[in-house]
Amino acid sequence: MITYLYWALVAALSLVALYVLAIKLGQFKAAAVAITSILLLGSLAYFFHFQQVFVKQWGGVMTLSVPDGQLHMGATWKGDHLWIENYDPKTNVCHFREYSKGSLLEGKVLIKNCNPLLPKQ
């Protein structure tokens, strides 16, 4: 829910800039620059900072996909970073992947010969 409120705020700021600069003052170039800047800064702030904070602390929305051929085993938060554990039965390797803010510094740990106790399918 907080994610939707964030984007509503970014959209509202863009509309206010459009109304004030383009309609009231007749500055169409300034309005275009302001709206582009607001949308760009809002997107960058969300991707590099707010996304995981919203999800962890206020129930935001975040979607991740399990790679093809792997089985999801677990997920945990360490600080503001999300760690996902998947198992690849073809190579018998457990993959721990870190999802950090902005996907800049992400860790990866491979455990060979993992053999997790999974129910038979």
Within this chain, do residues 6 and 31 fall inside the same structural domain, yes or no?
yes
Token output for 62: 């975040």
In a domain, 121, yes or no: no
Total structural domains in the chain? 2
User: What residues make up the domain containing 90?
Assistant: 71-112
- Non-local (6+) Cβ contacts of 106 within 8 A are 97, 98, 99, 100
β pairing state of 108-112 and 81-88: unpaired
Q: Looking at the domain assignment, is residue 52 inside a domain?
A: yes
**pTM recorded for the entire structure:** 0.63
Same domain, 18 and 52: yes
Distance CA 26, CA 84 (A): 51
Alpha helices in 1-121 (DSSP H): 2-17, 28-45, 51-58
Domain presence at residue 66: no
Half-sphere exposure in the Cβ direction for 103 (13 Å, CA) = 4
- pLDDT tens digits along 35-76: 999 999 999 998 888 887 887 788 767 788 898 999 999 998
